[in-house]
Every structure is written in structure tokens, then in C-alpha cells.
Amino acid sequence: MDFGENVIDVTGLRRRYGPPGDEKKGFEAVRDISFRVGRGELFALLGTNGAGKTSTVELIEGLARPSGGTVRVLGHDPYGERRAVRPRIGVMLQEGGFPAELTVAETVRMWAGCTSGARPVAEALELVGLADRRTVRVKQLSGGERRRLDLALALLGRPEVLFLDEPTTGLDPEARHATWHLVRELRESGTTVLLTTHYLEEAEELADRVAIMDKGRIAASGTLAEVIAAHPARIRFTLPEGWYVGDLPPLAELGVDSYEQTGRGIELRTRELQRSLTGLLLWARDKDVELDGLDPRTASLEEAFLSIAGRAA
Amino acid sequence: MAVTERGEATGPGAAGPAPRGAAAVVATRLLALGRAEATLLKRNKTALYVALLMPVLMVWAMHSATAKLDLEKTGMSANEASITGAFGFVLLFAVYQNLSGAFVARREELVLKRLRTSEAGDAEILAGSALPAVGVALAQCVVLVVAGAAWLHLRVPARPDLLIAGFVLGVVLFVALAAVTATGARTAESAQLLSTPLLLLSVAGSGVAVPLKVMPDLVADICELLPMTPVVELMRGGWLGTLGLYETVGHLATALAWVVIAVFAVRKWFRWESRR
């Protein structure tokens, strides 16, 4: 898919916490990240907790100045040119900040006063299904309702670019699907979306392209198909006492690209799962070998994610 | 759930009935923030009582003590000294202590961080949140002037310009100092504690409870440099007409210097986000 103009352009981005100048102290949460998001595209940043997703997104939202690299949102520096960028973006932070003692409607009204071309309060609440909670104080909302209130504020100014940091965390399945539906509709109406999530299903449902982050770096990126293709299917099993990898048929003949051995445990990686598995099972029947814990897995985003996250552990 | 159609016009302001000036947009944002903060102040009874009642209580408590001082050197009556000193109490309780707690509370609730993703600028966020406190302070000062002139036989303000200048400088300075104090506090309660030293110093040393002219010269000279002193002196002098040109310029300069220092400190050190 070609999305033309880059709405978000991130090059060599770095973010370090701790005393400046001292390389030994502090912690670098974002280490040399680059990616682009085209107009109308939905880009998902995936990663385990602590991978650096939020630290990255906050830089793109202009909440902090990067310690290295550049960010452009709609052609502007979101930190230095806040005024130019803010009216055109909508932000949902990982943790919404609302005064506990205001009601839902009061919160939206306050936000509307700070937003040019804001939707009417009722319409914004309708969008996220909170219309019947308008007179409830924020402190009495459930975690999921708070997330939806946050989403309503992000959508208030009909933004061109939407930042959603873990938008469905704490939502029940019904509300999660409603949010997905809403995000898809926004995307179809031309909104560019940068989403972070640790739900793989969410990325699979919504994203045009994904990047998997690990320890502050992008470990894999591309369309879902590309990311999955880069991480082949695998077959795990344990060989019984007295049998070795060398006893298997030549791996190339099975279509296996590579293998890994931990103790007696074997993991074969293949792009032709069916052919490899058939060959392996026929061999096992021939030799009357019991393959303990046989576990073939087809290539999936989850596999790609786990192999990256697992590599980190 | 449904997304309504995006209108034809997409430019800023195109959705409104007429294009609005930048100043009007800023005013809208300030009022929206101020309105929300006013609702919060109304619902926080402790903060509301401190802001509304403490200045009254302190003036009443201090009045008898002030009356016992030898006020001859000051050229003021006991009523004049305590009512004009009350401006200091107003700024300390309604503005300074109230806001240092409010800023911490908003920061810890992550409201300030969330607001920084909006179109409002940093200064607007703090100023808008300070509006209700400033409104309360303004109302109290007006009541003081009206009550003083109507019932306590004080004169009508001689130099309203200086009175207003003192108030404006005082408000800006103590809003900024509240933000500085909030930077060092983790909870609204610890903000109260952290605001106490400046509060006591101001009451004792800035002519709020004890007029400077009653003090030994050297002490008075030092006390003139405290942040609250020029504010109280300008407001007091503006009302009673006792300030010469030399003193006026000196107090204006001191107050401005404090404003510059405080605003610089906020820009440099204010924390917008909880450390959690």
C-alpha cells in the first residue's frame, strides 16, 4: 500500500533518562529508532512492557525533547513547534490525567475549551458510548470507562493524526471491539493513527504496518505479512536418550532452514512447515522414535513477537 | 458508536461562526481551565475554607497584636496597618498556599501532563488553573478596600494605580512561587508544609503583621528585599498615599526582580509530571 506523504517521520530517535552528559548513569529507553507513517495509515508499535513504546510515543507527541535524532509530525518539530502541531493531533496517553472530582461532562467541556473546532460534548461522549455517564465523577468511573473518556478527548478536535497509547487496556471485550470499530472508522475517514499495544490481536485487527520494539530498538518492522515472513514456523520436540540431531534425515531435505538445540530439546525452523513436519514424522515412525513434547507452530505475529521478546529474556 | 462526517472546511477556526483572534482563543482556553478549577475548588472544602476564611481569621487575630505596637513612627493607625497588611494574608492564603496544593494535586493526577498534549501553552495551563484563586483574592481585596473606607474610617485609595500595580505584581509573583513550591512537594499536604516557611517569613518580615518602620533599620533594610514586602508596601502606599517617588520606584523594581526570578525558576524547574 502506498500512503504518499509522511505524516510522522522519525529518524535516529533517542531518549535517555537520568543526568545529562553522564553516560554511565541513567538509562537509555529509546535507542536509535527510525520509522515513517504515511497519511491515512495505521501504524502499531508493539512490545513488551518496558520495551520503550511509551517513551517513543511521548517524544513524537512533543511531550519531551529527544536526547538524539529528529521527529517531524505534519512537517513540524512537535516539541519546538507545539503551536503548529497541537491543533491537528489528538492524544490518548497511557494513563489519562483527569481531575478526580470533575464529572465526565465537565471534563470534556474543559477540554473542548482548549480545542479549536471541538465537537459538541454530547457528540464526543456518544462516540465512545459514555453519554449515559455524563454526570458521574471521574473518580467513580471504571478503568475501561476512563480509557473511553480519554479517547473522547483525543477525538474532540477531529484530529488528522491520532496517538493511542494502549487504548484498550482495561476494557472488557465488548468495549474493546467497539473501540476497534471506532478506530477503523476513523482510519477510513483518513485519520493517521499511531498505536501502541501489547495485545497482538489488536495489531492484527487494526494495523497496516507494525514495528516490534525490544529494549529501546525496533527489532522487526513492516506489514504484518512481512514481519511474519521474517520469522519462520518452528517445530519443537525432545529426542529420547541415545538419539541425536545427526540421526535425523538431512535437514535440507526436510526443508529446515536452521535448528537450535538445548539439552535434548530441538527446535527446527522452516518456511515449509507441512513438508518438514511430514518428513520428521515419517522418520520417527520408521525408526520407532517417540518425539516427546512435539509442538509445531505456524508462523504468526505471536511467534514473531515471542521470538523477539524471548530472545531478549 | 459512529463517526460523524468531517466538514468541508478543515482550516483552524473554519468550524466556528467567524474567525477568532488569537487573544480570544487564549481567553477561551483560560476560561475553560479556570472554570474547571473553580468547580474543583468548590468541591474541595478544606482548600476553599483556607482560601476564604484564613485571611479574615488572620487579620482578626493580628489586629489586637498590631494595636499594641508603637505605631507612631509608621504614621498609620492600628486599623490602617492591619487592614492594609491583610492584602498580604490574602495573597498568602488565597493564592500562594491554595495554589501550591492545587498544582501538586493536578500534577500527581497527571492532569498537567494530559493538558500539555492540548493546544494550551505551558503558561496558559498554569494561569488558567490559577484563575479561581486570583478571582477569590481580587474579591477579598475589593472587600477590604470597600469595608475599610466605608466602616473603618480609612481614606479612599489615594493612588489606585499603585494599589492595582501592587496587586497584579503580587498575584503573578505568588502564582509563580506556588508553582516553584509545588515542584518540591510530592503531595498536596506536603505542599502545605513546604509553603509554610515563606508564609511565616512574609507574615513576620514583609510588613503584613509588623510594619517595617517599627523594626530596627538594618532588619528593615533586609526585610525590604523579601518577595512579599514590595507588594504589601505598594498596595498599602497606594491606598494610604504614603509612598514617595523614590520608594515607589524601589518597590516596583524589587517586585519586578522577584517576578523575573520566580518565572525563570518555574520555566527551568517546574515538573509537569509525577515521578511515579
Q: Which domain holds residue B130?
A: 45-268
Looking at residue B139, what is its pLDDT? 96
Name the CATH code of domain A231-312 (choices 3.30.70.980, 3.60.20.10, 3.40.50.300, 3.40.640.10): 3.30.70.980
Confidence of residue B272 (pLDDT cuts 50, 70, 90): very high
Q: Which grid coordinates belong to A268?
A: 527446527
- The per-type count for chain B, helices as H runs and strands as E runs, is 11, 0
Looking at residue A20, what is its pLDDT? 65
Looking at residue B276, what is its pLDDT? 66
- The per-type count for chain A, helices as H runs and strands as E runs, is 11, 13
Confidence of residue B221 (pLDDT cuts 50, 70, 90): very high
* Nearest Cβ partner for B4 among A87, A113, A123: A123
Looking at residue A25, what is its pLDDT? 72
Looking at residue B19, what is its pLDDT? 52
Q: Which grid coordinates belong to A300?
A: 504468526
Whether residue B80 lies inside any domain: the answer is yes
pLDDT beyond 60 at B173: yes
CA distances from A102 to A145, A151, A167, A175, B41 (A): 14, 17, 22, 23, 11
pLDDT greater at residue A139 or residue B152: A139
In degrees, rounded to 5, the angle at the alpha carbon of residue A154 between the alpha carbons of residues A120 and A40 is: 110
> What span, in angstroms and rounded, lies between the C-alpha atoms of B262 and B256?
10
State the ipTM, two decimals: 0.86
Start-end ranges of CATH 3.40.50.300 in chain A? Answer: 6-99+142-228
Q: What is the pLDDT of residues A151-171, one digit of tens each?
A: 999 999 999 999 999 999 888
Which residues of chain B lie closer than 8 angstroms to A61, CB-CB?
117
Tell me the average pLDDT across B241-260.
96
**Beta-bridge partner residues of A72:** A9
Asked if A87 and B32 come within 8 Å (Cβ–Cβ), the reply is: no
> Residue B90 burial (CB < 10 Å; 0-12/13-18/19+)?
buried
Looking at residue B12, what is its pLDDT? 40
Structural fold of domain A6-99+142-228: Rossmann fold (3.40.50)
Confidence of residue A1 (pLDDT cuts 50, 70, 90): very low
Tell me the average pLDDT across A116-140.
94
- Give B57→chain A minimum CA distance, Å: 28
Q: What is the pLDDT of residues B15-29, one digit of tens each?
A: 444 456 889 999 999
Which residues of chain B lie closer than 8 angstroms to A115, CB-CB?
118-119
Confidence of residue A22 (pLDDT cuts 50, 70, 90): low
Asked if A101 and B111 come within 8 Å (Cβ–Cβ), the reply is: no
Quickly tell me which residue has 518452528 as its cell: A234
- Give A86→chain B minimum CA distance, Å: 5
* Nearest Cβ partner for A97 among B6, B16, B109: B109
Whether residue B15 lies inside any domain: the answer is no
Q: What is the pLDDT of residues A200-249, one digit of tens each?
A: 889 999 999 999 999 999 998 999 888 888 888 889 999 998 898 889 99
A86: phi then psi, degrees, rounded to nearest 5: -50, -45
Q: What is the pLDDT of residues B109-132, one digit of tens each?
A: 999 999 999 999 999 999 999 999
Q: Which grid coordinates belong to B44?
A: 474541595
Tell me the average pLDDT across B187-209.
92
> What span, in angstroms and rounded, lies between the C-alpha atoms of A111 and A116?
10
Asked if B119 and A116 come within 8 Å (Cβ–Cβ), the reply is: yes
Asked if A113 and B4 come within 8 Å (Cβ–Cβ), the reply is: no
Contact A144, A171 (CB under 8 A): yes
Q: Does residue A181 belong to the interface with chain B, where contact is any CB pair within 8 Å?
A: yes
Q: What is the pTM (predicted TM-score) of this model?
A: 0.86
Whether residue B63 lies inside any domain: the answer is yes
Q: Which grid coordinates belong to B164?
A: 492595582
Asked if B113 and A102 come within 8 Å (Cβ–Cβ), the reply is: no
Looking at residue A212, what is its pLDDT? 92
> What one-letter code names the amino acid at B155?
R
Alpha helices (H) in chain A, listed in sequence order? 53-61, 82-85, 104-113, 121-127, 143-155, 173-188, 200-206, 224-229, 251-254, 273-287, 301-312
Start-end ranges of CATH 3.30.70.980 in chain A? Answer: 231-312
pLDDT beyond 50 at A313: no
Whether residue B146 lies inside any domain: the answer is yes
- Give A142→chain B minimum CA distance, Å: 16
Contact A33, A56 (CB under 8 A): yes
* Nearest Cβ partner for B113 among A93, A111, A116: A93
Looking at residue B4, what is its pLDDT? 40
3 state SS of A14: strand
* Nearest Cβ partner for B33 among A96, A114, A119: A114
Confidence of residue A311 (pLDDT cuts 50, 70, 90): low
In the sheet with A292-297, reading across from the earlier edge strand, the strands are A256-262, A265-270, A233-238, A292-297
Whether residue B4 lies inside any domain: the answer is no
Contact B154, B85 (CB under 8 A): no
Q: Number of folded domains in chain B? A: 1
